[in-house]
Amino acid sequence: MRVAAIGLGLTKFGELWNKSLRDIALEAGMKAINDANIGSSDLDAMFIGNMSAGRFCGQEHLGALVADQAGLSIPSTRVEGACASGSLALRQGLFSIMSGMHDIVFVGGAEKMTDISTEFATVGLMGAADEEWEGFHGLTFPGLYALMARRHMHDFGTTHEQLAAAAVKNHHNATMNADVAQYPFEISIDKVLNSTMIADPLTLLDCSPLTDGAAAIILCREDLAKKYCDTPVYVTGSGQASDTLALHDRASLTELKATVDASKAAYKMAGVSSKEIDVCEVHDCFTIAEVMATEDLGFCKKGAGGKFIEDGNTQIGSKIPINTSGGLKACGHPVGATGIKQAAEIVAQLRGDAGKRQIDGAKTGMTHNIGGSGATCVVNIFRRF
Amino acid sequence: MRVAAIGLGLTKFGELWNKSLRDIALEAGMKAINDANIGSSDLDAMFIGNMSAGRFCGQEHLGALVADQAGLSIPSTRVEGACASGSLALRQGLFSIMSGMHDIVFVGGAEKMTDISTEFATVGLMGAADEEWEGFHGLTFPGLYALMARRHMHDFGTTHEQLAAAAVKNHHNATMNADVAQYPFEISIDKVLNSTMIADPLTLLDCSPLTDGAAAIILCREDLAKKYCDTPVYVTGSGQASDTLALHDRASLTELKATVDASKAAYKMAGVSSKEIDVCEVHDCFTIAEVMATEDLGFCKKGAGGKFIEDGNTQIGSKIPINTSGGLKACGHPVGATGIKQAAEIVAQLRGDAGKRQIDGAKTGMTHNIGGSGATCVVNIFRRF
């Protein structure tokens, strides 16, 4: 059975100090419910992606929290796979409809990251990596991705300018997505190279920020979709794979094997190849992550990602537009919400609702969402007919 | 499509200070894989129930952690619904097989609670309740259930002796489950009444303990089950419901509405009523919780649960044996593992593998798993044919 996305909702991403986790979850959720032309009583179940509200807000049990806030008593389940939690929530919603158990399902993601100190957030985020082998010894996420960047530069001659090109592009795209994006302003290659060094070679503008935000999508059985929506978009493929938590256990530092495996599974299920993808949101938690994703998803050869991006192939209007939303870099990265925000961007693109960011004639889109330093990857493929 | 349970594995529950979270997850998992007569390469996916490793161990991303520890790169997803996380993991495994996406799935639960101070664990556990309305103001879980117990006593004349009868029975059952149970020894009504007061009227022996432990079950498509197993047990019903996180928002303090709703859904799916349940594991995080569950699941009338238990109706060999494993009270309550442990007990009972605890001729069994103070409830029904 095919599953359709019939509604989407997003909060503004940013430092939302006057809104609580439950406020933003409800805001995104109600937007999605209204967008889908349903009532909340039409929902059969909810799946909520969230990474670390326990550490960030003292609140676990996000499934029940969101149902409670919406005044619902339907099944509601939190799903977690670090920064891939949102896409995993979408995947569980997909399974639950495909299983015949549910007809209309709410999949959402929410994270509140800026109510605690940056230091504590950085430590908290290391729960996505290997606490015993990496976090305990003082490694941070910028450090993990800096190791990958250094090796990529060593093996393939990738330059910092090439990494920076991804950030520059994503900030440009975000200027056309100011309702959501945390940083909807232009930057330059020079500005990236000369911003504060975080973990050599990655500077501040190579890194996605800490962000509060929420996103929601309404999924629905294919045969019901047209009742609610003139432009349903279908989830035609979904792949997920795991890898070691710790970098030291991996055969390669320049490839995320989970991306390769998850995308193969998603392409196979959808019956498409990378060539047929018209628009793609990839997980650019750091600029090097976008470079590796561009390669690992098959848009260019291993090692060629830096030049591929620098040459403009991933800009809007070019070969394969990547991160039209502004990506994690410029939209912000509320970790549990990111996967749903990516899906919302693709659904908007395939409906023709992406405004100035619209990719003309986009029919097939893809999201690529990473947990941690690549221990989880989820790739979902969407299509309009 | 029906789904079978073909293997189970449990660690000893207790203060496992010489084993890490990953050690116990692997131990339970390998036991289940061996019990199912499969190899780990036969697995298509994993679903891991865990409530709060982020706060208890600094480690989120438990799905990838367990796959990593098992040397697997298959999809692996953490599911959380506070103390109901284990049953939710089982439910997602069920959906994933029913959807046709997977054939053989690992569902597990693990929690490590004793490596931090009791005070911090108590605070951490409040992440399962409403942090803003309850935790922030100093309420604890014993306090929440004490409020329910006081109201139950007020409305129905329930006595502390009746509550204590549940604990006495469960400790007795645990003496026959010493390989798993944290406290496999007899206690008496007097001992419960005279143990340290925790939150009036609940004393120490009304409360389940802090526990380390892990549990795993292998689920499989019905048509493959006989290939691996002579005595497959089928999951014939599954229900889940949500309620408000905070007690003050509920119409009743003496009924968990989520239990009523989830059990109705599970009974309907399985095509049975409470009368046909031969053995049941209920969520006795506190003695009052077992009293309320006995009522809310339909084994006796609202308000009659205390007397029903006191009269021996829920003992092994009596009307409806409840918590033959020893329950959360005497087995211990490693929160994310509890739901899977409950399912493992029911599967063992239906296979006829429960040793001295065996319920003769048990054909239909049920698990009842609560998240928090009742904001999530999952009821799963199992059957042998």
Q: Which residues of A touch B77 (CB under 8 A)?
A: 79-81, 88, 91-92, 240
DSSP class per residue in B93-104: HHHHHHTTS-SE
Of residues B160, B171, B333, B368, which has the active-site annotation? B333
Dump pLDDT digits (tens) for A248-272: 999 999 999 999 999 999 999 999 9
Collapsing DSSP states into helix, strand and coil, what is residue B237?
strand
**What is the pLDDT, as a whole number, of residue A317?**
97
- Residue A41 and residue A33: Cα distance in Å, rounded? 10
From the number of C-beta atoms within 10 Å of its C-beta (0-12, 13-18, 19+), residue B18 rates as exposed
B103 in reach of chain A (CB within 8 A): no
Our CA-based measurement puts residue A245 at a distance from the nearest CA of chain B, in whole angstroms, of 6
Q: Which residue has the tokens 């030049």?
A: A307
Q: What angle do CA A27, A216, A102 make, to 5 degrees?
A: 120
Dump pLDDT digits (tens) for B253-278: 999 999 999 999 999 999 999 999 99
β-bridge mates for residue B108, sequence order: B48, B216
Query: A384 pLDDT band (50/70/90 cuts)?
Result: very high
Phi, psi of A7 (to 5 degrees): -165, 155
- Residue A212 and residue A113: Cα distance in Å, rounded? 6
DSSP class per residue in A149-202: HHHHHHHH---HHHHHHHHHHHHHHHTT-TTT-S--S---HHHHHHSPEEETTE
A88 in reach of chain B (CB within 8 A): yes
Dump pLDDT digits (tens) for A158-175: 999 999 999 999 999 999
A135 in reach of chain B (CB within 8 A): yes
Count CB pairs under 8 A between chains A and B. Answer: 201
Residue A119 has pLDDT above 90, yes or no: no
Token pair belonging to A342: 């990516």
Q: Are B366 and B342 in contact (CB under 8 A)?
A: no
**What is the pLDDT, as a whole number, of residue B1?**
74
Dump pLDDT digits (tens) for A60-110: 999 999 999 999 999 999 999 999 999 999 999 999 999 999 999 999 999
Domains of chain B: 3-117+211-228 (3.40.47.10), 138-209+235-383 (3.40.47.10)
Residue A348 has pLDDT above 80, yes or no: yes
Preferred mutation among B3, B22, B52, B61 to probe A, highest tally of A CBs within 10 A: B61
Q: Is the ipTM of this complex over 0.85?
A: yes
**What is the pLDDT, as a whole number, of residue B119?**
86
**What is the pLDDT, as a whole number, of residue A261?**
98
Other C-beta atoms within 10 Å of B361: how many? 7
Q: What is the DSSP letter of A248?
A: G
DSSP class per residue in A250-275: -S-SS--HHHHHHHHHHHHHHT--GG
pLDDT values of chain B reduced to their tens digit, one per residue, 385 residues: 799 999 999 999 999 999 999 999 999 999 999 999 999 999 999 999 999 999 999 999 999 999 999 999 999 999 999 999 999 999 999 999 999 999 999 999 999 999 998 888 999 999 999 999 999 999 999 999 999 999 999 999 999 999 999 999 999 999 999 999 999 999 999 999 999 999 999 999 999 999 999 999 999 999 999 999 899 999 999 999 999 999 999 999 999 999 999 999 999 999 999 999 999 999 999 999 999 999 999 999 999 999 999 999 999 999 999 999 999 999 999 999 999 999 999 999 999 999 999 999 999 999 999 999 999 999 999 999 9
Query: A1 pLDDT band (50/70/90 cuts)?
Result: confident
User: For A120, which residue in chain B has the nearest alpha carbon?
Assistant: B58
Q: pLDDT averaged over chain A?
A: 97
Q: Which residues of A touch B241 (CB under 8 A)?
A: 73-75
Our CA-based measurement puts residue A238 at a distance from the nearest CA of chain B, in whole angstroms, of 10
For residue B321, is the peptide bond before it cis, meaning its omega torsion is within 30 degrees of 0? no
Query: A118 pLDDT band (50/70/90 cuts)?
Result: confident
Residue A40 has pLDDT above 80, yes or no: yes
Dump pLDDT digits (tens) for B309-351: 999 999 999 999 999 999 999 999 999 999 999 999 999 999 9
Report percent pLDDT > 90 for chain A.
98
